[in-house]
Structure 1
Amino acid sequence: MNTFKKSALNAAILGTALFGSAAIAAEKIAVVNVQGVFQSLPQAAMIQENIRAEFKDQIEEAQRLEKDMKYYLEKQQRDAATMSEKERKELEEKLISLRNDFAAKAQPLQNNMQRRGAEERNKLLGKIKDSIDAIAAKDKYDLVLNAEAVLFLKDESKDISKQIIDQVSKSN
């Protein structure tokens, strides 16, 4: 009787394992390299250009201030021996003023550029997500995984990254 219980239990476990494997095999799975898709898109390359164009005047102002600071620092080093105390003090005040102006403009500019860049990247990632959803629905995938989380992929046809790049590239 004891042997019968063990055999029945083993048969039940084996049947459950086989059924579970069959259920997993029946799922349709795809992978997408989201980071690779993002970097391959022409829109991603344009994000940085658009941000620079949007903040062009502020960038030029910060660069001008930086150039002026460099000029006055070089002048201070070059002419220090021949400057009067009054000229030295005026030059130091000028440098302090330029540094303050630069700090007041550069840090907010950098923050604004990073914020806008993140906004644009998130918009593009949203388009990628929408494209993944559309292709997964059209091709009836049960599961789509990020390729960076997949250690092994036997069938490269399950990688739909190229389809995503094509679809997102066309939508602009």
Structure 2
Amino acid sequence: MSNLSDKAQQAVEKMKVLLVEDDELLAESLAELLDDAGYRTDIAPSMRLAAALWASEDYTLVILDLGLPDGTGLSLLADWRKTKWSVPILILTARDSWMEKVEGLRAGADDYVTKPYHEEELLARLQALLRRQVHAFSTLLEVNDIRLDEARQQFSLAHQEWQTLTSTEFRLLR
């Protein structure tokens, strides 16, 4: 990602991604790609684990496979959207018919990429989703002299240097 501007790279840093993928080798490879690009990645190989992580963590983005061992990713996606969860969701699947793509997008996916995929294209699509998300709402909260950047999970006191928070610190401060 050396061709990204410094500002774009900073926006990527500390973004937390939920990767819902049951293929262990693919999940590890993709998590490594995302980690190298500055994302923090949690892997969920099943709907059950994905739902548990969703309930306990704050994610900036989800990459969702449709074929999972305990159900379909589409039903998980529909459940998430019913709760008004607005996090961008990119479907990454081997299912490549136009009808399946339409079904995924209508179920609430923000983008749909078929396997096999090119790594640079996938990263560019994630950046596009995040760019649209950043423009949709402000991720900066301010109370008195405390500023909290939700997108980067950082805080600043009295407009001093930004400090990175752990997930627990971030949730408590927010």
**TM range, normalised to the smaller chain?**
under 0.3
Q: Higher helix fraction: Structure 1 or Structure 2?
A: 1
Q: Higher strand fraction: Structure 1 or Structure 2?
A: 2
**TM-score when scaled to structure 1?**
0.27
**TM-score when scaled to structure 2?**
0.26
Larger radius of gyration: 1
Q: Which protein has greater RCO, CA pairs closer than 8 Å, 6+ apart?
A: 1
